[in-house]
Amino acid sequence: MIVLSAHRLFTPREEIRNPRIFIEDGIVSSISSPSEREVPLHATHIDFTATHPEAILAPGFIDIHMHGGAGIDLMRAAPNDLPRLHRFIATHGVTGYFPTTVAAPLDEIRAALDRLANAIEAGQLPANIRPQEARPLGIHLEGPFLSHKRRGVHPPENLLEPTPQLFDQLWQAARGHIRMMTIAPELPGAMETIALAAERKVCVSLGHSDADLQTSRAAIHAGARHATHTFNAMRPLDHRAPGIIGEDLSNDAITADLIADGIHVAPEVVKLFFRAKGPERAVLITDAISATGMPDGTYQLGPIQVEVKDGKCTHDGSLAGSVLTMDRAVRNLMQFSGASLQDSIRAATLNPARATKLPHNGEIAAGAGANFVLLNSSGEVLMTIIGGQI
């Protein structure tokens, strides 16, 4: 048994002072106060108050939309590349993530899905859980079912109209590990494809879309329950024809994510987004590419070459992902919106886990995986703990 003690704990639903977290076989068995339960004699007790008196324990961050980092592109990564990426994102508090595809030739997407499925299945084996490495939890299929008009940098020749049959082909290639799919609901065949994906428990997310309000509502009725990088690659909000963004912000039945790097969305609009979705439905993502953590230069995003300069990623003048890290996104949400640290942590932990229905993730509770991040009061990462291993 391992017992962790800290000054504060954000579960993140609640704040607990002077917690003791009891861990057995990588799982949280209970949470108590020092007065409620003594540390057993046989247990390993790690008291963070001795080394970090004001530190806060929180669930490990979950990034449901990221394409790479540390020079590694997830569409092309070989198995021996992934530990470097996993160590890098763990230093920024991420303990689990969704490797995310881009539009590419179908053969390349299928091959990437197969490799990513291998990585997910390998990471599910207890012997492969390493305390310094984040784990892939499921695949986010972004492309090929995107709008030509709102495709961003996704190559137009690789965009396809969705059909249940084509989705099933990709599902089979991923061996059922697709947990999230971004789709433009106005495309022919989208409603039937959304219904099938939702039936298979995929978090269907509306994005890269020029949909109007009625089409967006029809997609939610068909099974969509989330929105991808709100404001980016979407029909702009109009006060008389609110479109997809109007539905995204006003519908309390769906969650929505946002890239809070101050480049994709202005800080003032981040504040509006957080006010609209609230601390229960706002989700932070990075949309990070292989350039994250690397110097300025030219990097890959699937089949696309991206120029990175001064923290901005572009392809032919259009934004192409980000170099944002999740800990920075948490701090930015605090700075831009005035959100508390607890609510900002929730947007990077419990909310993405609930949006994608990840069991035993995103919170610290009995039965949950012992995946934590230790933070100071400014949201800077002091330590990341994966599988209860320090």
| Residues linked to residue 62 through DSSP beta bridges, in sequence order | 96
Angstrom distance (rounded) from CA 40 to CA 68: 42
The residues assigned a catalytic role are 287
> b or e along 260-299 (b: 16 or more beta carbons within 10 Å of the residue's beta carbon)?
bbeebbeeebbbebbebbebebbbbbbbbbbbbbbeeeeb
Instruction: Give yes or no for a contact between 315 and 245, defined as CB atoms under 8 angstroms apart.
Output: no
> b or e along 204-219 (b: 16 or more beta carbons within 10 Å of the residue's beta carbon)?
bbbbbbbbbbebbbbb
Query: What secondary structure letter does DSSP report for 192?
Result: H
The HSE-up count of residue 175 (CA atoms within 13 Å, CB side) is 11
Cα 38 to Cα 25, 44, 46, 47, 242, distances in angstroms: 19, 12, 13, 13, 57
DSSP H or E stretch at residue 348: none
Amino acid at 213: L
Angstrom distance (rounded) from CA 374 to CA 23: 16
Rounded to 10°, the helix 213-222/190-199 angle is 30
